Structure 1
Amino acid sequence: MSNEYTDKLHAGADFPAIEAKLLDGSVKKLSTPENGLDWKMVVVYRGQHCPLCTRYLNQLDSAKDLLAQTGVDLIAVSGDSREQLESHMERLDVSFPIAYGLTLEHMEELGLYISNPESPEETDHPFAEPGLFVINNEGKLHVVDISNNPFVRPELQTLISGLGWIRNPENNYPIRGMHK
């Protein structure tokens, strides 16, 4: 694949029907909200090798209840293997689902930036750079944030506040970025 361009998901598009596995053996469709909620946030992280990802996932856990109060369910996923996620869980303190096995094809379908490992110590496979997707109750991509490096991620309190604004029917806030 050339580095000349990356296809991006468009705001308002249907979120792809991508599934990933949890450590308990279950398979989750990433875009399907659970827990009585009607929107879904999918957080793609680089993998167990990334200390910034570990910190962000742990911060997400403390924001999970505020997200739920806004009607947004949460799942995180990476291209790591089952063994890599098992190892990573030793450094994570989270109670939301974390999936593994995001394929290169899925990463491309999501329009994520993909990096190659710098060394075998980093990881053993190409991995997605951070991405965050919020899917509304119609299965449409309502919020998208992708980055080409681990240093740029949405600040959680601002994001949750913004989702509360978007979800408030009095604001009638549309999906942004739809100009063609």
Structure 2
Amino acid sequence: MTDSKPAAGGPLPHMAFPKLGGGQIEIGGPRERHTLLVVYRGKHCGRCKKYLAGLEALKGDWEDAGFDVIAVSADPEPKAQSDVAEFGWSFDVGYDLGEAQMRTLGLYVSEPLSPQETDRRFAEPAVFCVRPDGIIQVVCLSNGPAARPDLAELLDGMKFNIAHNRPARGTA
């Protein structure tokens, strides 16, 4: 269960997590571009691979629309690196998302069903579209792997929101 839920129209909490290839990914606060942040369950999740393959296919379209594309999970570096090597993701991938960070983002957190699934608690899927001023335009939180927004539809909606300077909705 989430402790709190980030509000559409409110700021994305500031935090950092390690980035594959070195350095850190920082979210929250002002940036030059919009941000698409995708939280995925981890190496153990086949549905995540399919979803992130779709993200990879649309990455150029998201970037052309003015977005930095980021994915992050609770997986440790070796698992995240293994997935990037196997699936060829070219977007920034963060790892070691901590449980306190999951709670700050309002994510649903799950226990592994078995040691074969994974060895740690992990975040269920989420997608955040964040404006350059750090304000959340769209937030989609899921409590399971089968409920995620269609990335092509979301991109189309975000292009419209940007072109027409639409405010975040669902703020009441």
Task: State how far apart, in whole Å, the 1-side matches of 2:21 and 2:9 are.
Answer: 32
Please tell me whether the aligned partners of residues 31 and 40 of structure 1 are also in contact (alpha carbons under 8 angstroms). Answer: no
Please tell me whether the aligned partners of residues 140 and 149 of structure 2 are also in contact (alpha carbons under 8 angstroms). Answer: yes
Larger RCO (CA under 8 A, 6+ residues apart):
2
1:8-53 per-position Cα deviation (integer Å, ceiling 9, x unaligned): 111111111111112222111034788xx61001100000000110
TM-score normalised per structure 2: 0.94
Please tell me whether the aligned partners of residues 14 and 27 of structure 2 are also in contact (alpha carbons under 8 angstroms). Answer: yes
- Report the equivalent of 1:71: 66
TM-score normalised per structure 1: 0.90
- Root-mean-square deviation over aligned CA pairs: 1.6
Segments of 5+ residues of structure 2 without an aligned counterpart are none
Instruction: Give 1:88 deviation, angstroms.
Output: 2.0
1:58-77 per-position Cα deviation (integer Å, ceiling 9, x unaligned): 11011111111211111000
- Report the equivalent of 2:16: 19
Structure 1 counterpart of 2:53, which letter? N
Instruction: Give 1:93 deviation, angstroms.
Output: 2.1
Structure 2 counterpart of 1:19, which letter? A
Misfit runs of 4+, over 6 Å:
none
Instruction: Give 1:156 deviation, angstroms.
Output: 1.3
Segments of 5+ residues of structure 1 without an aligned counterpart are none
- Report the equivalent of 1:28: 25
Structure 2 counterpart of 1:177, which letter? G
- Secondary structure of the residue aligned to 1:8 is coil
| Number of residue equivalences | 172
- Secondary structure of the residue aligned to 2:17 is strand
Instruction: Give 1:81 deviation, angstroms.
Output: 0.4
